[in-house]
Amino acid sequence: MPVLKSDKLGLLIDTGGCPNRCAHCSVKGKPTRQMSYQEMRWIVQQFRELRADDRPFFSEIDVGLSFMEPDFRDDYRVLWDLQCELGDVEHKHGGLLSIWRIARDDTYLTWVKEKGGTLCQVTLFGAGETHDRFTRPGAFADSIEAMKRLLEADFAIQWFLVFTKAIIPDLDELLHIAEDLGLKERSERFICLGIVEPVGRGWNLEHLRPSSADLDLLPEFLRDRDKAGYGERTEAECTRLALDGKVSPGKYETLWLHIDASFNVFPQFGEVQTWYRLGNLRSDGPERIIEAYISDQTPGQHARFVMGAKALAQRYGNLESDLLYTPGSLFHRWIVQHCTSREPRRC
């Protein structure tokens, strides 16, 4: 059972979706219904009014109004102010900014700076057409324009290169682009090479998952795991760890709930699929949703906390495979395999 270790709650609300279509998106990235301010206030109020032994059930509520790409909605400044008003936790604008907006809105970065932002992560699936194929037409051109604007505005840039088999032929070109932009001079650690989690739409990229043999194809600069920031092991090694009882279901100090535009509520395990759906805030109310979380009522939680990694490894593990995973992402894949053996995926 995911024991509630604190009485802190985080609410991540999908207020308008995302203009992108990233192939690894855990939340199906697409524009959704624009939620009204009144609806956002109502959601937070539901959890504020929840009580136990005549005291508030949650002592602190953190609110995020950008479940998907931040600042995509045209009223992003109002949403920021509303997020500060509704939540108890003070935010600085973090490393995730809207690349789409940076490339279009001349006043956006000045505003981000006023809100404390100094860094921007740029996620790339490859160069040019490769990146667009995994996102949307024109996305790579937006990223280049955004990076020029970020550098002019003196922001630090961190590249997140999505490590699939498809990016390998483009890596030399990407490193040249980084050199032309002067990113390496600004920071030795400007690149993080990350392997897609088999979460959400990322599941559909499993056929592109790199193996340990693909590491030999990386440019010299990225072979240094420390510099490039990846620590994955082979599926065989991760399976062995799980069989030895060394893969835990994770610690969750704060309960984060994801709420979609139709008021469906999901816990913080990275999937907004029905096997993790705790209920609908409109029809079930917050008590039943929290109860569903605490008692592992969803099939996904049952697999994660009741069955556990060892039992799933016995069923789905592969001691021959050299595909690269973290133990946690492989555990997640087994949970999806287990849940989809009963119910099909939706994306």
Q: Which residues bind ligand SF4 (CB under 6 A)?
A: 18, 20-22, 25, 27, 29, 68-69
Minimum CB–partner distance for residue 99 and ligand SF4 (Å): 8
270 Rama class: left (phi>0) / alpha (psi -120 to 50) / beta: left
* Pick 67 or 331: Cβ nearer ligand SF4: 67
Per residue in 236-272, is it b (16+ CB within 10 Å) or e — as a string? Answer: bbbbbbbeeeebebeebebbbbbbbbebbbbbbbbbb
Minimum CB–partner distance for residue 146 and ligand SF4 (Å): 12
Minimum CB–partner distance for residue 336 and ligand SF4 (Å): 18
Closest to 269 (Cα-Cα) out of 198, 326, 338, 345: 198
* Pick 136 or 227: Cβ nearer ligand SF4: 136
* DSSP 8-state class, residue 104: T
* Pick 18 or 242: Cβ nearer ligand SF4: 18
Assigned token pair, 245: 């009882």
For residue 55, give the 3-state DSSP assignment: strand
* Pick 21 or 91: Cβ nearer ligand SF4: 21
Minimum CB–partner distance for residue 220 and ligand SF4 (Å): 29
* Pick 200 or 249: Cβ nearer ligand SF4: 200
Q: Which position's Cβ is nearest ligand SF4? A: 29
d(CA 151, CA 160): 17
* Pick 25 or 289: Cβ nearer ligand SF4: 25
d(CA 77, CA 62): 18
Minimum CB–partner distance for residue 124 and ligand SF4 (Å): 12
Evaluate whether 71 touches 95 at the Cβ level (below 8 Å): no
d(CA 286, CA 281): 6
Indicate the burial class of 112 (C-beta count within 10 angstroms; 0-12, 13-18, 19 or more).
Answer: buried
Minimum CB–partner distance for residue 27 and ligand SF4 (Å): 6
* Pick 18 or 339: Cβ nearer ligand SF4: 18
d(CA 161, CA 124): 5
Q: Measured in Å, how far apart are the chain's first and last C-alpha atoms?
A: 27
Minimum CB–partner distance for residue 54 and ligand SF4 (Å): 40
Minimum CB–partner distance for residue 125 and ligand SF4 (Å): 10
* Pick 125 or 334: Cβ nearer ligand SF4: 125
Indicate the burial class of 297 (C-beta count within 10 angstroms; 0-12, 13-18, 19 or more).
Answer: middle
